[in-house]
Amino acid sequence: MGRLAPPWDRLLLDARLATLRDDLGAYGAIEDGALAWKDGLIAFAGPARELPGEPAALAARVESAGHRWITPGLVDCHTHLVFGGDRAQEFERRLQGASYEQIAREGGGILSSVRATRAADEQALLAASLPRARALLADGVTTLEIKSGYGLDFETERRMLRVARRVGETLGITVRTTCLAAHALPPEFAGRPDDYIAATIEWLPRLQQEGLVDAVDAFCEGIGFTPAQTRRLFEAATALGLPVKLHADQLSDLGGAALVAGFSGLSADHIEWTGEDAVRAMAAAGTVAVLLPGAFHVLRETKLPPIDALRANAVPMAVATDLNPGTAPLQSLRLAMSLACTHFRLTPEEALRGATHHGALALGLHDRGRLVPGQRADFVQWRIGHPAELAYWLGGELVHAVHVAGRRVQ
């Protein structure tokens, strides 16, 4: 991408840039850097000595970054942020020995959140969801995916997706919406999963026409939906031109990762039980592996995702919070990065790439995630001495400023 010609809107000097460019070594780091933007896009990101003139003549406003590290804005590519109620009591039960599957089969789990979400109107859902989104923004997130899936009927799914759109509008960040109606079987369809899949397929064109859905997801699992049912849904989504992604191989290997790769899916998420053949299929299809260490941590799982196979096959690895009321009540993408390092043995640099560039790819977004001219000017200034600290610190307020398309939002 070429530089945007000056005059620029703004220029930051005395910056330390983690550009995540592949040709600049670790983190794509530039120690004595400058960052400029124009019309919401990065105009310059490089060594200050390469500026094409005197700073004062290049931009309407020139400032010092105070030698702070600047990274691309974080991208949380897998959340269930809009929901009613909470499931703190289920957390207690799991600590006492009950399994996730046992709780689900007893009518808890996802269906517990369905009951609470159906009972909440749009304004109540927005009021409950905004603090969670603000927590992510305060932690550096500038792009966010939000799934439906706690309605399991047309009106509530639609309400969730409308709230997701309103979250983005209210906070001035990008929100990508994913229809996850195939999350669980609602009580009114008990014993009729094929009929429910048929119903969700009927909802998709209506939701698409209202501009409420950017992608389609499903929970392909023994306590969710079969590969055959998932395939039917994906065929319908593809016919509408909607990209697909999948909760795949979290609790068992039903071939979910290979299935979504067969549809050139954006991502296969969780993938603890995914085999090497499926990893190769993901590599061939360009399907991103979304790692969700928060759920792994909360559920005290022991089966690790196939990290070595993903590396060997150059499959991009994204990292996301999976923020949800049951298995990942996690409101910090930085903490998810740290958990990915601790549990999955990612390097801090892999975790940062996973929460920026690779997270963007998992949403089908190619205009953000690196500090490169022509990309969106989504970036974060941090109070850190080295980029590894973003995965090192467990909590704390490290953000100095968050910019979205060049506009400060935090």
For 42-59, write each residue's pLDDT tens digit: 999 999 999 999 999 999
Q: Please give the CATH number for the structural domain made up of 8-72+370-408.
A: 2.30.40.10
Q: DSSP 3-state assignment of 105?
A: helix
Instruction: Check whether 87 is labelled as a binding-site residue.
Output: yes
pLDDT tens-digit series, residues 321-361: 999 999 999 999 999 999 999 999 999 999 999 999 999 99
Q: 327 labelled as ligand-binding?
A: yes
Handedness of CA 152, 155, 160, 161 (dihedral sign): positive
250 is in an annotated binding site: yes
| Residue 247 annotated in ligand binding | yes
pLDDT value of position 2: 56
Q: What is the pTM of this model?
A: 0.96
Flag whether 331 is marked binding. Answer: no
Cβ atoms 213, 241 nearer than 8 A:
no
d(CA 222, CA 244): 20
Residue intervals of the chain classified under CATH 2.30.40.10 are 8-72+370-408
Indicate the fold that domain 74-362 takes in CATH.
Answer: TIM Barrel (3.20.20)
Residues of the chain with CATH 3.20.20.140: 74-362
pLDDT average, residue stretch 304-324 = 98
67 is in an annotated binding site: no
- Any binding-site annotation on 22? no
pLDDT at res. 98: 87
DSSP string, 128-140: HHHHHHHHHHHTT
Decide if 109 contacts 90 (C-beta within 8 A): yes
Residue 2 annotated as part of some ligand binding site: no
